[in-house]
Structure 1
Amino acid sequence: MTTHESLIWAGSYTADRNGHGKGIAALSADDDGQLTSVGLAVEANSPSFLALHPTLPVLYAVAEEGKTVRAYRRSGAANLEAFGDPWPAGEATCHVAADPQGRFIVATCWGDGQVILYELDDDGAITSRGSAAAAVDPHSAAAPDGERPSRAHSSLMLPDGRVMTTDLGHDLVRVWRFVPGEGLKPDHQVVLPLGSGPRHMARHRSGTVYVDTEYSVEVAAVRMEPDGTYELAAAVPASATGAKDGDAGAEIALSPDGRFAYVGVRGTNRICVLEVASDGIGLEPRGEVPCGGEWPRHHLVREGWLYVANEGSDDVVSFRLDPETGLPDGPVGRVETGSPSMLLVAD
């Protein structure tokens, strides 16, 4: 690869989840937005979400159907090899994130609501597992329409060392404290509107955390107060035209300068662009474009480009981002890859 190309790992759904992927694929993106396949980095069953160790050439992947989490070590320019055995996780483990200090990873489980912390060794290997499921109460929550199962969906590492997680089923954002040797301990929680379905998160440089909602297809702004607690400050539709029947929010990502937020919408297959106010709280929909494929599960914003993983059409496409309006233009490039579910810059 030349210095003008970037390597991107692509997670996927494989045959065990009725997908067309084979494992973690390696893609190349050049400065002109062109995408090419480098090959299969490692064979794995439904590695649907990935995370990088902050300093070591180690990658962590969930096996969503297999209910495990596993570490992989980079070997060569675009290959991965298993690094230790798979570790047990929960039902439909759908997300993993790494601590910026390399102390642990956190996996969240859509199927049973578990939030699981795995401590790491100095070489990045997984060394222990501690579940916070009891504190989460994964079984049910009181609601007007009866019991709702917990659906832990994603985690976000906060600068002060705490961990934030979403519970799509209970409409909650939870904040945890990490206690070495014990795992995660509850700190407090933020209640979102009933039926919104908080899914993924992105932290703005102002400190506000934006949460996209799967069911209501909105973006919620969760602001940290002076006492360190977070509160819901605003919630706006992801699109000025609103959600359509069958729509489901997917990924949220911010532009590097924090001026724009990008939200993927499955169903109508679009990428919505919102402008972020100078206070880091206000959001206003500014436009939307077709995603260039079917079922945009995840997307990545990097160096003036937007890369979209279209699970349903088995491809990843690139869009050029207008530096003034933030709007995507394209698709510019496209590469075929089976059931892509997540994109992660390798370097």
Structure 2
Amino acid sequence: MTSPAQYGLIWTGTYTPDGGGRADGIGALAAHKDGSLGWLGTAVKADSPSFLAVHPTLPVVYAVGEQRGMVRAFRRTGDFGLEPLGDPQPAGEAACHVAVDPLGRFITAACWGDGQVLLYELDGDGGMTGCFPAAPSVDPHASLTPGEPRQSRAHASLMLADGRVMTTDLGHDTLRVWNYVPGTGLVADHQVALPFGNGPRHLVQHQNGNVFVVSEYSVEVFVVRPDAGTFELIFRGPATFGGKAPGDSAAEICLGHDGRFAYVGVRGSNIISTLEVVSGGTELVPVKDTPSGGNWPRHHLVRGTCLHVAHERSDNVATFALDDVTGIPTRMIDDVQTPSPTALVPALAPAS
């Protein structure tokens, strides 16, 4: 077997039986030079580690335990193994996303079930220390649902290039921007209210500083631009070329390696939409919808000229070659069986 350290390693978040899945814990894939992947096995047993994040300098992986309401840290051991680092830390209901500060000072967890956004400070070994809950969300659209308050549903965190943190709230249709204060956690800076009912889910920052957001419910993309430090909504458009079909829900948005294209996964229709980044990074224009290569594309990842798509319900990761000119996935070059994959996160290269 090829050593994963030779070419690269990708961790897979998963659902285990407590979340209706078939995995045993965090999985490991060997990434080969030709873009193909190889299933290595389970790196460590864990309960529904549905999203993962990797410490920027240490061989430490963080995982939510979505059904258990917790966050865990693991230390890398051997070629692709992981072992627990410290005790699990409590989180909110249905913790579904974790992200790491680029300087390794803290991690954030977003909780879909109760809307909590939590910050855990890290020690020198990457272990979690203090936990600080952020201020709860207030629905800016509350007047539209009098007498029927909507549930806040935090869904993702993005570490911004200027050191701040942006989080999505799927239930309140907001983006919230935070400052990190050591010993205190996340302190609110400002928020951006998106149109009612769209459900912002995931987000990515373009090299020009703008943030691209995909909405789960309306299957749209939004662009917010920082103006003197305050983000403002400047663009709203469809996330797919063919439009939203009944039963569709958008999942992940990511950028191509050079920032010219963005890619959105849509569950239901099971497609990957290629969008061109135009007008200086202020607009996203759908170019083509491509079958994703499986059922329920939960997460996807661009590495070089390849696109890897994790399919939660068909237990596979499909890999496509990307056309360098059009950005479109042209052909499937690999299809590897992987139990209930929900996230694809490249591992930190081991020290040589």
Q: TM-score, normalized by length of structure 2?
A: 0.95
Gaps of 5+ in 1: none
Deviation of residue 160 (structure 1)? 1.8
| 1:267 aligned residue | 268
Shift of 1:3: 7.0
Matches within 5 A, 1:90-239: 90-132=92-134, 134-137=135-138, 141-144=142-145, 146-225=148-227, 227-239=228-240
Q: Does the Cα contact within 8 Å between 1:33 and 1:305 map onto a contact in 2?
A: yes
1:40-91 deviation digits (Å, cap 9, x = unpaired): 1000000000001111111100000000001100001101000000000000
Q: Distance in 1 between matches of 2:144 and 2:87?
A: 40
Q: Residue 37 of structure 1 corresponds to which residue in structure 2?
A: 39
SS in 1 for 2:295: coil
2:262 alignment partner, SS class: strand
Root mean square deviation of aligned Cα = 1.5
Aligned-partner residue type, residue 308 of structure 2: Y
Change (3 A) 1:141 1:83: farther
Whole-Å separation in 1 of the counterparts to 2:42 and 2:143: 45
For residue 328 of structure 1, what is the aligned residue in structure 2?
329
**Aligned with 2:144: secondary structure?**
coil
Residue identity opposite 1:263 in structure 2: V
Q: CA deviation at 1:2?
A: 6.6
Give the ranges of 4+ consecutive aligned residues of structure 1 lying more than 6 Å apart after TM superposition. none
After TM superposition, give the deviation of residue 4 of structure 1 in Å. 6.1
Please say if residues 141 and 150 of structure 1, whose CA atoms lie closer than 8 Å, have aligned partners that are also in contact: no
Matched, 1:72 2:74: yes
Q: Secondary structure at the match of 1:279?
A: helix
Distance in 2 between the 1:198 and 1:156 partners?
13
CA separation in 2, counterparts of 1:266 and 1:2? 30
What amino acid sits opposite 2:150 in the alignment?
A: R
Counterpart of 2:257 in structure 1 is: 256
Q: Is the 8 A contact 2:154 2:168 kept in 1?
A: yes
Contact 2:115 2:136 in 1 (8 A): no
1:301 corresponds to: 302
Secondary structure of 2:161's counterpart equals coil
Aligned mates of 2:30, 2:329 — CA distance in 1: 20
Give identity over the alignment, percent.
57
Alignment correspondent of 1:283? 284
Q: CA deviation at 1:338?
A: 1.1
Q: 2: distance between equivalents of 1:187 and 1:135?
A: 13
Provide the TM-score with structure 1 as the length reference: 0.97
Q: 1:95-141 CA distances to partner (integer Å, 9 max, x unpaired)?
A: 00000011100000000000000000011100110001x44258x94
Q: CA deviation at 1:256?
A: 1.5
Offset, 1:158 = 1.0
Query: Deviation per CA, 1:256-304, whole angstroms, max 9, x where unpaired?
Result: 2100000000000000000001511111111111000000000000111
2:21 corresponds in structure 1 to 19
SS at match of 2:247: coil
Q: Distance in 1 between matches of 2:334 and 2:124?
A: 39
Q: Is the CA contact (8 Å cut-off) linking 1:4 and 1:31 kept in structure 2?
A: no
